[in-house]
Amino acid sequence: DWTPANIVAETVDAIRAQIGPTGRAICGLSGGVDSAVAAALVQQAIGDRLTCVFVDHGLLREGERGQVERDFVAATGVDLVTVDAAEVFLRELADVVDPEEKRKIIGREFIRSFEGAARDLAEGAGVDFLVQGTLYPDVVESGGGSGAANIKSHHNVGGLPDDLQFALVEPLRSLFKDEVRAVGTELGLPETIVARQPFPGPGLAIRIIGAVDADRLATLRRADAIAREELSAAGLDRTIWQCPVVLLADVRSVGVQGDGRTYGHPVVLRPVSSEDAMTADWTRVPYETLERISTRITNECAEINRVVLDVTSKPPGTIEWE
């Protein structure tokens, strides 16, 4: 019968059978729950014959790199290689404003960074297997030219070149998201990873309306951290599916702070409730919580002098602004 412990035992056996007694595998970690649980299962099966690769594209939220490098490694003992690619991504994204152009660049650079690390490992140690956190709904959805398949494309490292051949290991292929979380908990993964709300692969880049640069990223990262902290403190993590914080970097408005006039940027709070992200409703966050978020963001983020709330459902609005 279905218990997380049974799933773990069965899956670990299946992975051992597939990879064999001497095979080696690599797995890309995104900071999200799927890749983390897939990696942890493979780690249980083959130990240090698995190497994980984490591409830090510099578009992550506050604390996320540490959650992978410190907490995930502490929980699993996994062998981890971090690729520090923030500079490359920033350079390639310079002056790019169009959302799809941003996605294309990030997808391309992500594959390039991952491929570089994979090639080094494959040549050094003879890696034959690539682990992917493909879920049952991904399996069902893929094959069509649907938005979903497209959205997932760079996450799943589908675009590896032909001369870099791996057999795929997909230990989550028959599981739904909530089952993956249950398995992650069973494996002792950190709560920050197991319970993480959805976060897009292109990260904060598609939450800056306008061009991406280091200062804007720092501002948005701080504002996002404050919003997440206050929403969690208010006990809203389960009510809210996700809450993008969006920096309107090309908009300025006049404000007043202390004795001075300011000419800063607005951020938008976009709290939504949803079952599957296909449709969503804006979440009625209590006024006191909104007030705390607004006060803290305008006090703690020098560039931001206005906090606004998005009250649009999906449809007609998407969850993200880009």
- What residues are designated binding site for ATP? 30-36
Nearer to ligand XMP, 138 or 303 (CB): 138
CB of 272 to ligand XMP, least distance (A): 8
- Positions that interact with ligand XMP (CB under 6 A): 103, 151, 155, 198, 200-202, 242, 277, 314, 318-320
Nearest CA to 281 among 255, 247, 316, 250? 316
Q: Which residues are annotated as a binding site?
A: 30-36
Q: Which two tokens stand for residue 18?
A: 């597939």
How far apart are alpha carbons 58 and 90 in whole angstroms?
Answer: 8
Tokens 């780690």, residue?
43
Nearer to ligand XMP, 81 or 151 (CB): 151
Check: CB of residue 59 under 8 Å from CB of residue 204. Answer: yes
CB of 300 to ligand XMP, least distance (A): 24
Tokens 């907490």, residue?
71
CB of 184 to ligand XMP, least distance (A): 19
Nearer to ligand XMP, 86 or 277 (CB): 277
Nearer to ligand XMP, 5 or 311 (CB): 311
CB of 123 to ligand XMP, least distance (A): 29
Q: Name the amino acid, one letter, at 213.
A: D
Q: Give residue 22's Cα distance to chain centre.
A: 32
3-state secondary structure of 85: coil
How far apart are alpha carbons 218 and 299 in whole angstroms?
Answer: 15
Nearer to ligand XMP, 61 or 103 (CB): 103
Check: CB of residue 82 under 8 Å from CB of residue 54. Answer: yes
How far apart are alpha carbons 270 and 200 in whole angstroms?
Answer: 14
Cα-based angle 197, 200, 203 (whole degrees, multiple of 5):
110
CB of 299 to ligand XMP, least distance (A): 27
Nearer to ligand XMP, 185 or 318 (CB): 318
How far apart are alpha carbons 45 and 63 in whole angstroms?
Answer: 29
**Measured distance between the N- and C-terminal CA atoms of the chain, rounded to whole angstroms:** 43
